[in-house]
Amino acid sequence: MARVREDGDVIVAEIERIGRRRLRCSGCGDVAQQTAGQRPRRRWRDLRLRDRPLVLAYAPYRVRCRRCGVRVEQVPWAARWARVTTALARAVALLARRLSWAEVATHFGLDWKTAVAIVREAVATGLELRRWRPLHVIGIDEVSRAKGQTYLTLVYDLARHGLLWAGEGRTRDTIEAFFRWLGRHRGRAVRVVCCDMWDPLRRGGPDAPPPRRDCLRPLPHRPAPQRRPRHRAPRSLARHERSGASHLQAHALPVAEESVEP
């Protein structure tokens, strides 16, 4: 860091290259041996310094890469084509799990479009780095997200209790898009599909359900529970019925014999 200055309410930290530090290509990440000039100074938004915005300013170099040719160098504090630092992007992505995008943008002083782009990039990176495990039981359900019959189709991994995929609408095309995304290799491991959207699954194209169609069978209708009678027998009669008829006859026979004698 060369120097720090104030630009109104914003704190600007100007960064310069340290000596002959080796530069890396932003395309492949390899170390470049030569430079090909320098680009104009750019700015990256960083986390606040107390209550004041902090901006990093740096003029990146153009490097000659053996694989990619002439590219802009890779900076260690931000991703490629990003206008915010990695620390700020991580903080926005973590807070977006609890608050809405508009509230997150207001908290960090960003435009809501910038917050949306950061969250989408974080989700895409997480999906690329996610470790796939065998998928056996999935659940498909729809949820209304706006007025006017606007739905989202959600697919869950019921064995691990996590959201697996989300798509616009609740039609046959949405189901086909999920199974195309899943692929035939991972789809072969699916054994059970729990859903109440049987018509889109049954009417789907050849690529809609997984290769094993026998796992997509509608469950039989559950019989209606039997209702209890409204009027119950008196407790005394029920108690005598539980004790048995032999007990009643033992008390009734002696009385009958005494009444028969002359």
pLDDT per residue as tens digits for the range 63-85:
998 888 899 999 999 988 899 99
Q: Which domain holds residue 101?
A: 84-130
* Residue 94 or 239, more confident: 94
Say if 142 falls within a structural domain: yes
Q: What pLDDT, in 10s, does the model give residues 195-246? A: 876 666 655 544 444 444 444 455 555 555 666 655 555 555 455 454 444 4
| Last residue of one domain, picked from the residues 58, 79, 100 | 79
Looking at residue 77, what is its pLDDT? 92
Place of tokens 């320098």: 38
E-strand ranges in the chain read 3-7, 10-14, 23-24, 31-32, 34-38, 42-49, 52-58, 61-65, 69-72, 137-146, 150-157, 162-168, 192-195
Q: Taking residues 2-29, what's their average pLDDT?
A: 88
Within a domain: residue 117? yes
Judgement on whether residues 111 and 142 belong to the same structural domain of the protein: no
Q: Can you give the pLDDT at residue 116?
A: 93
Q: Kindly tell me if the per-residue pLDDT of 7 is higher than 80.
A: yes
- Residues 198, 152, single domain; the answer is yes
Domain-embedded: residue 5: yes
Query: Does 181 score more than 80 pLDDT?
Result: yes
149 shares its domain with 103: no
For residue 253, being part of any structural domain is answered with no
Q: Are 147 and 155 in contact (CB under 8 A)?
A: no
With respect to residue 189, please indicate whether it lies within any of the assigned structural domains: yes
pLDDT at 250: 37
Instruction: Report pLDDT digits (tens) over 26-54.
Output: 888 888 888 888 899 999 999 998 889 99
- Asked if residue 159 belongs to a domain, the reply is yes
Do 20 and 39 belong to one domain? yes
Position 262 scores a pLDDT of: 43
Question: Looking at the structure, do residues 73 and 53 belong to the same domain, yes or no?
Answer: yes
Q: Provide the number of structural domains found in the chain.
A: 3
The whole-number pLDDT of residue 42 equals 93
Per-residue pLDDT of 118-166, as tens digits, reads 999 998 888 788 888 888 899 988 888 877 788 899 999 998 888 888 8
Instruction: Give the pLDDT band of residue 185 (cuts 50, 70, 90).
Output: confident
Which residues have C-beta within 8 Å of that of residue 80, sequence separation ≥ 6?
Answer: 26, 74
| Average pLDDT over all residues of the chain | 79
Residue 108 lies in a domain: yes
234: in domain: no
Regarding whether 162 and 89 lie in a shared domain, the answer is no
Look up the pTM and report it: 0.63
Distance CA 87, CA 100 (A): 19
